[in-house]
Amino acid sequence: MIKVLWIKNEYLQMILAGRKTIEVRVAYSNLTRLRPGDQLRLNDQHTFAITRIGRYADFDELLAHEQPAAIAPDMSREKLLTTLRALYPREKESLGVIALEIVATGES
């Protein structure tokens, strides 16, 4: 399966530089079907493979199990939590949270 995800440019640049290796999303139904080995086309240009998927009840559980620096380099855990909650209101967070660990495939 190949899924296109749109990433804000500042975070895309971190992914392309290898500094950001985990993309976090709320558990929308189209994302819950993803499996390790599936591919992501970031901004419909850059192909990455999903190596691992973490599934969590909320952002607090996510940050208890995932390294904040892999999600948002240079951001503290507290700032990351605030940023995630600014992107996704509580009703979205209540769907659950998915952490997609990704690696470049060499295709673009």
CATH at residue 11: 2.30.130.30
Taking CA atoms, 96 is separated from 16, 19, 20, 24, in Å, by: 26, 25, 21, 11
Give the model's confidence band at 1: pLDDT under 50 very low, under 70 low, under 90 confident, else very high: confident
What are 32-64's pLDDT values in tens digits?
A: 999 999 999 999 999 999 999 999 999 999 999
What is d(CA 97, CA 56) in angstroms, rounded to the nearest whole number? Answer: 5
Instruction: Give residue 83's domain range.
Output: 2-104
Domain count, the chain: 1
**In the chain, what percentage of residues exceed pLDDT 70?**
98
Backbone torsion region of residue 96, taken as left when φ is above 0, otherwise alpha when ψ lies between -120 and 50, otherwise beta? left
Total residue count of the chain as it appears in this document:
108
What are 11-36's pLDDT values in tens digits?
A: 999 999 999 999 999 999 999 999 99
